[in-house]
């Protein structure tokens, strides 16, 4: 039994060595916060198992678990702070206003708040399905086409962007309103391709 518990604790410790990537989008931060909460629960469970077979809090194994719990907790607090800052800094759809030039079909290319803007008109069913799998449900993020032809996911214009700069789910200011990165292509660092029905 003691060997089995030690094996369990070893597996938990190995899981803790996997350092999560630093998240950038709201959904990624929320997922990482939940991941840290789960790891804290697993660490607590492992420490309780060791205590149940006679390990005291002063043993190296329990001290290591305490250190790992503190790391997970501190990282969770840091992620929550990042999430709070991200939410506070993201304008709501109703607050967002762009007073510069706007992308049009006849213009073809525009330089908006993020940089170069172009447009594309493709079937969005595959992209919508991918976003559904990422948690953007049809109730809160319905797919629809705005009166001006912009293809929408909930309140956001669907855009393609360079995923190294804007991961899927990033909220991106455009000349036509706030966009959400749902797609990618051969796009420059500050370029967005806006999904329209033109």
Please give the pLDDT value at position 27: 80
Contact assessment for residue 73 and residue 40, using Cβ atoms and an 8 Å cutoff: yes
**What does pTM read for this prediction?**
0.60
Q: Where are the domains of the chain?
A: 2-89, 110-195
Q: Is 39 exposed, middle or buried (0-12, 13-18, 19+ CB in 10 A)?
A: buried
* Predicted confidence (pLDDT) per residue in 127-186, tens digit: 999 999 998 999 989 999 999 999 999 999 999 999 999 999 999 999 999 999 999 998
Please give the pLDDT value at position 21: 45
Higher-confidence residue of 94 and 11: namely: 94
């Amino acid at each position: 039994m003691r060997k089995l518990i030690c094996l369990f604790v070893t597996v938990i410790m190995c899981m803790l060595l996997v350092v999560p990537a630093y998240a950038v989008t709201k959904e990624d931060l929320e997922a990482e916060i939940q991941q840290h909460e789960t790891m804290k629960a697993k660490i607590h469970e492992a420490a309780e198992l060791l205590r149940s077979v006679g390990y005291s809090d002063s043993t190296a194994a329990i001290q290591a678990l305490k250190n790992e719990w503190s790391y997970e907790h501190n990282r969770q607090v840091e992620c929550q702070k990042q999430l709070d800052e991200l939410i506070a800094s993201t304008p709501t759809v109703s607050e967002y206003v762009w007073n510069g030039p706007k992308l049009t079909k006849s213009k073809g290319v525009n330089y908006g708040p993020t940089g170069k803007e172009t447009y594309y008109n493709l079937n969005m069913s595959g992209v919508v399905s991918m976003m559904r799998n990422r948690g953007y449900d049809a109730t809160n993020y319905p797919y629809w086409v705005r009166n001006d032809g912009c293809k929408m996911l909930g309140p956001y214009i669907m855009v393609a962007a360079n995923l190294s700069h804007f991961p899927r789910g990033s909220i991106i200011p455009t000349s036509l309103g706030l966009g959400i990165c749902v797609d990618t292509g051969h796009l420059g660092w500050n370029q967005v391709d806006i999904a329209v029905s033109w």
